[in-house]
Amino acid sequence: LAPWVPVVGLEIHAQISSNSKLFSGSQVQFAAPPNSLVSFFDASLPGTLPVLNRRCVEAAVMTGLALNCSINKKSLFDRKHYFYADLPAGYQITQQRVPIAVNGSLSYSLCIDNKMSQMVTKTVRIKQIQLEQDSGKSLHDDTRNQTLVDLNRAGVGLMEVVMEPDMCCGEEAAAAVRELQLILQTLGSSQAVMAEGQLRVDANVSVHHPGEPYGVRTEVKNINSLRFLAKAVDYEIQRQIEELENGGTILNETRAFDSRLGCTMPMRDKEGKQDYRFMPEPNLPPLILYDAKSLPANMNHQQVVNIDWIQDRLPDLPSVKRAKLVEQYGILPEHSFTLLNEDGLTEFFENVVKQTHMKPKKVIGWIIKDLLSYLKQHSLTVKESPVSPFLLADLLNLLEKKVISSTAAKQVLAELWKGEGKTPLEIVKEKNLELLQDQKELEQICQAVIDGQENEVIMVLLG
């Protein structure tokens, strides 16, 4: 059987972290009472007009720069038409013709064969980033045969990040999205919490034989975690391969991921190809951005969005942070990934390092192997850790001073997890875990052991 080449592209919608919506002044807030954050414009009252939110533009520029994109100094807004209960105006304002940023790239890393020790770096091309409105939410109440519409989310600013089909499996897709998430959170342009709907991923999946053209692709929606993303993509790849090997065809359709069953299903609503009848948004002039060169002399940066000004103020991106951690502390690259991957772990690590004489290269093992695995076992976040950086540093200092052995240290740590407020030294004394420092005492113990093993001693002496 000829090999199959799976091809995965992603469309990621990231909610912009801003006080108000993309085109209106109503507030952006998660889980507010239904229809309590809806302005006249959001409700599409006749005669209302969009007014562009500057903060949203800045967020998109930041994100574009962080993803190595070219920022379009002139971009345009368009209307995308379709009828749905959660779209009050009957169209979404988006950027179809000329988006705000294009042609970027994102580097991400994967472990080969699940071994943290072997990491490989991959790159995915970013086709574009566009600004667009989020829709409201509609909930189907089948018992009463009605649809409930909540417009709180309608009009919230989104950045749609389009990743080219450079990925080949669920793991790559998840890793790429994870890295994007970290970047967005570092920039502050989006909080990117998938569970709160701030980061939504649609996957485009197809398979083909090497050398042949790309196969028909399906779009998989309704994925709300990284784990499910990987699962959904891999399932879909498998499904398509099986379908084709059995002589079937792949339909260019939209499928939803069912997390309970672990499979993708065709979506009811999206039948046939939609013609969105794109039209320029007549109420918004072209969006003009400036840089240091093009900024007119009489304008200050507060009146306009200046790309260079934003570039100068970008924080260290995750890749830079990791490199700095490796350089500063002598830890391995895969360690730096783990540190950044857990919210608050880097800070924890750095705090411990500050408070102990133990070399960071040794501290990292305790952080990743002991602390993190404990937290994972008990489903705790770093912030919820019963062991503080101070306590851990205290314990590691005992180890460093050879007051206890590393085995003993693990025992002390196990006690510390209980969170009973005892210091490491207290636990050491309690459990009598001190290392013997007396040379004579040690010799006596060794001699006693040797004396008790006569036969073995003779074997060793005989060679």
Partner 1 sequence: PRHRGSRFQVSAALQEGRVSPTELCQRCLSLIRSTRFLNAYITVAEETALKQAEESEKRYGRGQPLGVLDGIPIAVKDNFNTAGIETTCASNMLKGYISPYNATVVQKLLDQGAVLLGKTNLDEFAMGSGSTDGAFGPVRNPWSYSRQYKEKSVPKSHSEDKESDWVITGGSSGGSAAAVSSFTCFAALGSDTGGSTRNPAAHCGVVGLKPTYGLISRHGLVPLVNSMDVPGILTRCVDDAAIVLGSLAGHDPKDSTTIQDDFKPFELPSLTDVSKLSIGIPKEYHAPGLSSEILSLWSKAADLFKNAGAKVIEVSLPHTRYSIVCYHVLCTAEVASNMARFDGLEYGHRSDMNQSTESMYAATRREGFNDVVRGRILSGNYFLLKQNYEDYFIKAQKVRRLIADDFVKVFGSGVHVLLTPTTLSDAVPYKEFIKEDNRTRSTQDDILTQAANMAGLPAINVPTALSERGLPVGLQFIGRSFQEKQLLTVAKWFEKQVKFPMIQLEEVKRHDHGIFQHQKSASFS
Q: Which residues contact partner 1 (rule: CB under 8 A)?
A: 40, 43-52, 79, 81, 83-85, 88-91, 147, 149, 151, 275, 277-279, 282-285
Cβ within 8 Å of residue 155, ≥6 positions away: 21, 22, 23, 24, 26, 39, 41, 42, 133, 134
Tell the smallest beta-carbon distance from residue 303 to partner 1 (Å).
Answer: 10
State the first-to-last Cα distance of the chain, in angstroms, to the nearest integer. 58
Please tell me what DSSP assigns to residue 251: -
CA atoms within 13 Å, Cβ hemisphere of 168: 8
Select 38 or 352, whichever has its Cβ closest to partner 1.
38
Distance CA 392, CA 369 (A): 13
Rounded (10°) CA dihedral 221, 137, 86, 140: 90
Nearer to partner 1, 30 or 40 (CB): 40
* Shortest CB 24 distance to partner 1, Å: 10
| Per-residue DSSP letter, 368 | I
Tell me whether residue 19 or residue 444 sits nearer to partner 1 (CB atom): 19
Among residues 51 and 112, whose Cβ is nearest to partner 1? Answer: 51
CB of 136 to partner 1, least distance (A): 10
Query: What is the nearest approach in angstroms of partner 1 to the Cβ of residue 374?
Result: 50
CA separation (Å) from 71 to 156, 308, 434? Answer: 22, 11, 62
Phi/psi-derived region of residue 348, left when phi > 0, alpha when psi is between -120 and 50, beta in every other case = alpha
Q: How far is the CB of 221 from partner 1 (least distance, A)?
A: 19
Structure tokens at 5: 């080449």
Residue 69: CB minimum distance to partner 1, A: 25
Smallest distance, partner 1 to C-beta of residue 278, A: 7
Find the shortest distance in angstroms from Cβ 58 to partner 1: 18
**Residue among 156 and 404 whose Cβ is closer to partner 1:** 156
Closest separation between CB of residue 20 and partner 1, Å? 14
Residue whose CB is less far from partner 1, 83 or 210? 83
Q: Is 182 exposed, middle or buried (0-12, 13-18, 19+ CB in 10 A)?
A: buried
Q: How far apart are CA 285 and CA 77, in angstroms?
A: 8
Nearer to partner 1, 151 or 353 (CB): 151
Specify which residues 199 forms β-bridges with: 14
Smallest gap from residue 169 Cβ to partner 1 (A) = 33
Nearer to partner 1, 47 or 463 (CB): 47
CA dihedral for 311, 314, 318, 323, sign (positive or negative): positive
Residue placing its CB nearer to partner 1 in the complex, 29 or 147: 147
**Smaller CB distance to partner 1: residue 299 or 442?**
299
Report in angstroms how near the CB of residue 47 gets to partner 1 at its nearest.
4
- 305-321 in b/e burial notation, b at 16+ Cβ within 10 A? bbbebbeeeeeebbbeb
In the chain, helix, strand, coil percent, each to 5?
35, 20, 40
Closest to partner 1 by CB, 25 vs 262, is: 25
Residue whose CB is less far from partner 1, 277 or 324: 277
* Residues composing the chain: 463
- Residue where the block lists tokens 């013709």: 97
Q: How far is the CB of 284 from partner 1 (least distance, A)?
A: 6
| Spatial CB neighbours of 109, under 8 Å, sequence gap ≥ 6 | 119, 120, 121, 122, 175, 179, 333, 337
Give the separation between CA 107 and CA 322, rounded to whole angstroms.
Answer: 13
Name the token pair of 169: 């499996």
Task: Centre a 10 Å sphere on the Cβ of residue 267 and count the other Cβ atoms it contains.
Answer: 15
CA distances from 133 to 96, 381, 397 (A): 12, 33, 54
